Amino acid sequence: MPPPDTWRDTGWAPSAVERERAAYRRRRTVRSAGVSALSTLVVVGVATGLLVTSPGWPRVHETYFKWDKAVSSFPAVLTGLWLNLRIMLICAVLIAAFGLLIAVLRTLRGPVFFPLRLFGTAYVDLFRGLPLILVLLLLGYGAPALGLSGVPKSMLFWGCVALVLSYSAYVAEVFRAGIESIHPSQRAAARSLGLTYGQTLRHVVLPQAVRRVVPPLMNDLVSLQKDSGLVSILGITDAIQAARIQTSSDFNYTPYVVAGVLFICLTIPMARFTDWVARRQGFQGTGGHL
């Protein structure tokens, strides 16, 4: 039975049979909600019980979950997190642009473009293969050491460069998968209308390809958000570095937990947003027939 506001002025009202069915469905919904609430409670209860009765719990509690330490370290960690957020936002834009460029380079056809294709492929191979942490260390300490004039010496700058270089390689592959998933008939249709290769790419292929890969890209964005914490190894005072400074005075690791919780608080809305985008995509699906 559809909701009453869709009955509109069709003069339709549900029959007795349908009303009885709707009542049964409602009862069933209530019952299953009750069952799921109960089972969740039992699972959480058992897990909590196991944790707090374990022999080392008092010590772990003292070192990782000390409330006043959490409160005292919170402002510093939060300030650090703001830097993480800014790094993430700026890098995301650069990564999207650079990744798309690499993807397009890799899909170019014809012998003229061989060097560009080669560059794209080599780039992706290199930066997907290199651990991000190595790129960070090499660029963060290596690039400023060159002492070239005009090259920024800021660790933050080079940390961001490392993130962009590494992530662009992954994102380029996602974009390329999207581009290649567009059926050749779309290109044929566009070319038959007289559009050039570039126009076809720009107006027909890319709009569809990008739309199709938004959900996996959002996944990479969530991942980038966490990995922005890796710049802390260059001594940049982000959330993790701020937590480390707080722990070094008394070897109480609660600030790390605080940082962890804050990162999760950032990621969860992003993850739900990703789900929402993916679900909305489903409705515009290009899949099979009914």
Partner 1 sequence: MSDLRKSFGSHVVLRDVSLTVERGECVVLIGASGSGKSTLLRCINLLEPIDDGVIRLEGEDITDPRVSADGVRGRMGIVFQAYNLFPHLSVIDNITLAPRRVHKVPRSEARVRGMAALARVGLQDKAAARPDDLSGGQQQRVAIARALVNDPVVMLLDEVTSALDPELVGEVLDLLRELKAEGMTMILNTHEMGFARQVADEVCFLSEGRILESGPPASVLGAPREPRTRQFLSRLQEQ
The reply to whether 10 sits near partner 1 by the rule CB under 8 A is yes
Asked if residue 15 binds partner 1 (CB under 8 A), the reply is yes
User: C-alpha distances in angstroms, 122 versus 106, 118, 129, 237?
Assistant: 10, 6, 11, 33
Which of 6, 53, 185, 284 lies at the binding interface for partner 1 (CB under 8 A)?
Answer: 6
Shortest CB 281 distance to partner 1, Å? 19
For residue 18, the minimal CB distance to partner 1 (Å) is 4
Cα(46)–Cα(132) distance, rounded to whole angstroms?
A: 39
By CB under 8 A, is residue 109 in contact with partner 1?
no
129 DSSP assignment: H
Is 290 a binding residue for partner 1 by CB under 8 A? The answer is yes
Tell me how far apart the alpha carbons of residues 41 and 146 are, in angstroms, rounded to a whole number.
Answer: 59
d(CA 258, CA 255): 5
28 contributes a contact to partner 1 by CB under 8 A: yes
Cα separation of 153 and 66, whole Å? Answer: 38
Q: Binding of partner 1 at residue 2 (CB under 8 A)?
A: yes
DSSP tag of 139: I
Give the interface segment with partner 1, choosing from 18-26, 74-82, 147-155, 183-191 (CB under 8 A). Answer: 18-26
Q: In which residue are the tokens 């009765």 written?
A: 53
Q: Which of 4, 17, 131, 146 binds partner 1 (CB under 8 A)?
A: 17
Query: Closest CB to partner 1 among 198 and 287?
Result: 287
Dihedral of alpha carbons 43, 44, 45, 47, sign: positive
Taking the least distance from each CB to partner 1, the nearer of 21 and 203 is 21
Q: How many residues bind partner 1 (CB under 8 A)?
A: 17
| One-letter amino acid for residue 30 of the chain | V
Stretch that binds partner 1, among 13-21, 65-73, 156-164, 247-255 (CB under 8 A): 13-21
Among residues 207, 202, 171, 174, the alpha carbon closest in space to that of 98 is found at: 171
Binding residues vs partner 1 (CB under 8 A): 1-2, 6, 8, 10, 12, 14-15, 17-18, 21, 24-25, 28, 288-290
